[in-house]
Amino acid sequence: MTGEREPIGVIGVGWVGLVTAACFAELGHEVIARDIVPEKVEALARGETTIHEPGLSELLARNAERLTFTTDMGQLLERARLLFTCVDTPPTRSGDADLSRVRSVVADLSGGDHVLVMKSTVPAGTGASIRRDRPGLPYVSCPEFLKEGTAVEDFMHPDRVVIGADPGDEGAGDAVARLYEPLGGEIVRTDVASAEMIKLASNAFLATKISFVNEIANVCEEVGADVGEVARGMGLDQRIGPAFLRAGIGYGGSCFPKDVSALKMLAGNSGYHFQLLGAVIEVNELQKRRVVGKLQKHLGSLAGKRVALLGLAFKPDTDDMREASSLVLAARLQGEGATVVAYDPVAVDAAQGLLDGVEFRASALEALEGADAAVLVTEWPEFAALDWRKAGERMTRPLLVDGRNFLDSAALREAGFEYEGIGRAVESSVPAGTAE
């Protein structure tokens, strides 16, 4: 790799931006990354990693000399031509995507031969509207498909890279494509609106798969079938595939809830009622709440009961609490009068301000002490390795709702637990994780 190439600019160092910056640096590029939050920039400049993401700290450390973190947009504009925009697009109160941060990046670009490469997830039509406002500013849509927890791996080994460029911007699209060529994934060249839709449709489809399998799980509970077996049998059909058929207590995170809602609103804004996505959202909301009913089935009223939540993050290997199922679940349990105690290996700091009245503990065993029930919310590997017999002895009542079908139900029953999964046959000893 040579230092001959032009530096790459990254705007916004949240999850996508930081991983993008670190991975491009790993590929040998000089990267100038800009964020408006001084504390974040200072921490990164000191060599600290601001998010919990496997492999990222090592990448940042290894490529420190190729990475510049700054709050100064001027420095970035002066040195970089390709500007990867990775600012967040949170939902507004109406459920639309908030594009104010994207708009302020566009406003900062004046003159020069810059290319705006949009990695932020934006509604279809955003590129067209930016091009209308800023004729002459080359625009490339390059949506990101990385998953938190495996983000570095996903970036380095993409299934596909989508590059949308409209007539006149093909050269800018070529420049972006060249950056991704060494990664080997299929490069999909298309127009901007289609690239924007590929991103939204992909997330909405994956969320639909999850809500679908969650409803199948709920039916399995009625008919005595096991959703793990059903998903395994379905997933072997190549037209269906095994991924994202893990039933549980609903999807969370910064992407699926936001993007499903944004796509629904985008359709609605143009007069189309996207019925299916309405159901996907509703199923997801109800799925988090079904745990309360499962606990009540065993405990009756939850008033005065102590419930331990194992895991708080929206999925393992991240400290991200955005739209985590634990937030709704904790509030619902408190609403029923229960005391909620919680443990998460990494997300406690992030969770502190979000879970009013929840008692945090430093280990799973401490959280389970004196509990009337436990709910496994996030499938952290350490929960599979827990000494469940010892755990059960510490609890007032060894009752576990496994919200991710993560544990070996037979082993748990063997250890004296009343065990409930999501859509798992009551007497099943089918090992978890048979469907990816």
d(CA 319, CA 209): 24
Residue of the chain from 20, 50, 89, 121 that contacts ligand UGA (CB under 6 A)? 121
- Binding of ligand UGA at residue 166 (CB under 6 A)? no
Which one is catalytic: 23, 86, 142, 255?
Answer: 255
- Binding of ligand UGA at residue 423 (CB under 6 A)? no
Q: Is residue 220 among the annotated active site residues?
A: no
- Binding of ligand UGA at residue 290 (CB under 6 A)? no
Q: Sign (positive/negative) of CA torsion 233, 236, 239, 243?
A: positive
Residue 424: CB atoms within 10 Å: 24
- Binding of ligand UGA at residue 380 (CB under 6 A)? no
- Binding of ligand UGA at residue 244 (CB under 6 A)? yes
d(CA 7, CA 12): 16
Q: Which is nearer to ligand UGA, 97 or 175 (CB)?
A: 97
CB of 219 to ligand UGA, least distance (A): 17
In sequence order, what E strands does 86-223 have?
Answer: 115-118, 139-141, 160-165, 186-190
- Binding of ligand UGA at residue 286 (CB under 6 A)? no
Q: Which is nearer to ligand UGA, 146 or 195 (CB)?
A: 146
CB of 88 to ligand UGA, least distance (A): 10
- Output the six-digit token pair for 330: 């904790």
Residue of the chain from 146, 308, 338, 374 that contacts ligand UGA (CB under 6 A)? 146
- Binding of ligand UGA at residue 203 (CB under 6 A)? yes
d(CA 99, CA 296): 42
- Binding of ligand UGA at residue 246 (CB under 6 A)? yes
Burial class (CB in 10 A: 0-12, 13-18, 19+), 397: middle
Residue of the chain from 210, 299, 308, 327 that contacts ligand UGA (CB under 6 A)? 210
CB of 144 to ligand UGA, least distance (A): 5
CB of 402 to ligand UGA, least distance (A): 13
Cα separations (Å) of 369 from 54, 225, 300, 374, 396? Answer: 30, 33, 20, 10, 8
Region of residue 121 (phi > 0: left; psi between -120 and 50: alpha; otherwise: beta):
beta
- Output the six-digit token pair for 71: 């709050």
- Binding of ligand UGA at residue 251 (CB under 6 A)? yes
Burial class (CB in 10 A: 0-12, 13-18, 19+), 49: middle
Q: Which is nearer to ligand UGA, 137 or 265 (CB)?
A: 265
Positions in the binding site for ligand UGA (CB under 6 A): 121, 144-148, 203, 206, 210, 244-246, 248, 251-253, 255-256, 259, 314-315
